[in-house]
Amino acid sequence: MGMSEYYQELRRKVGSELIFMPSVAGIVRNESCEILFQNKGNGEKWSLPAGAIEPGEAPAEAVVREVWEETGLHVVPEKLLGVFGGKEFRYQYPNGHKVEYVVFVFECKVKGGDLNPTDSETAELRYFSPENRPELALPYPESIFTETDSEKTEFQWDEGRVKLADQRS
């Protein structure tokens, strides 16, 4: 779909300057447990099917929409794997637009559809094993790519702040 009217209007006001962007990404596996990745074909590194959350949209709704737009697959989010953000999730697009993502990553189950993107953002879709995945545009932690039965949600964390909080209590 490209940039929504909301983000286009925001960009008209702030230009290419850094904006926070609440986003989602989906881990979609095939029957061999390989993970689906997207190549936009514009010089950016590979990514998970992902995109911005629109005003009024819940993160789980956004991942269903984004995965469908970018892959042609109908998915249901089954588990929140992690929430990531901060300086490591700053990104500059080829057009100069700067964002700092706050990304909700969901494990998704395919319910239907055909692997055929419905928008022009995707040049190539390919499944990769977790060990041999392509270099990604964002630094997701290794743990979200390995299948586990863990109920723990991943997030990045500054251990120094944890120690500081422990000292205060």
Residue-by-residue DSSP string for 62-101? HHHHHHHHHHSEEEEEEEEEEEE-SGGGEEE-TTS-EEEE
* Domains present along the chain, CATH in parentheses: 5-168 (3.90.79.10)
Of 40, 63, 69, 53, the C-alpha closest to 136 is 40
Has residue 21 got a pLDDT over 60?
yes
pLDDT for position 13: 95
pLDDT for position 155: 65
Q: Which of 57-71, 76-90, 150-164 has the least mean pLDDT? A: 150-164
Q: Calculate ∠ Cα 119-17-21, nearest 5°.
A: 50
Q: Do residues 64 and 47 make contact, with C-beta atoms less than 8 angstroms apart?
A: no
95-99 long-range contacts, CB within 8 A, separation 24+:
95/16, 96/16, 97/11, 97/16, 98/16, 98/17, 98/18, 98/19, 99/18, 99/19, 99/20, 99/21
Has residue 168 got a pLDDT over 70?
no
At residue 73 the predicted structure's pLDDT band, cuts being 50, 70 and 90, is very high
Q: What whole-number percentage of the chain has pLDDT above 90?
A: 71
At residue 166 the predicted structure's pLDDT band, cuts being 50, 70 and 90, is low
Helices (H) and strands (E) in the chain, counts: 3, 8
pTM: 0.87
Has residue 4 got a pLDDT over 90?
no
